[in-house]
Copies of this chain bind each other. A is one copy, B any other.
Amino acid sequence: MTDAPDELSLVFQALADPTRRAIISRLRSGPTTVGELAEPFAMSRPAISQHLKVLERAGLIERTADAQWRRCTLRTEPLDEASAWVDRHRNEWNQRFDLLDQRLRQLKTAPTASTPRTERTDR
């Protein structure tokens, strides 16, 4: 454990694997045990367990114990954040709006100086 990554990174990273995306797809049909989840994949149980750990760390699933079974439930809230980020960067419209915004700021603040640099971070 070096330096805990931010929520969004965890979510995107969790989605960056076909097996994990398939698991999420599967979980849309309702809570499922690890065994059922593992069945379609040519992969050992521990491998699936590890994928589930990644999904859990990203807040995308919840595991509840039920006798000797672990019932996995999908949590879609983190997907909302992911969706919001992507949509904010997706379309032309936003892009042009930002460009205009930037031009206006440039004209206002510094007609003489070299570009003021807005220190734009991610968010």
Residues of A within 8 A of B (CB): 5-6, 8-10, 12-13, 15-19, 21-22, 24-26, 28-30, 39-40, 74, 76, 79-80, 82-83, 85-87, 89-92, 94-95, 98-99, 102, 117, 119-123
Contact = CB atoms under 8 A, between A and B. Distances in A.
Contact of A12 (B12, B89, B99, B119): B12
Copies of this chain, complex-wide, total 2
Nearest to A82: B86
A9 B13 contact: no
A122 B18 contact: yes
Given A16-B12, A40-B119, A121-B40, A86 B83 contact: yes
B83 A120 contact: no
B29 A121 contact: no
Contacts of A121: 22, 25, 40
B120 A25 contact: yes
Contacts of A87: 83
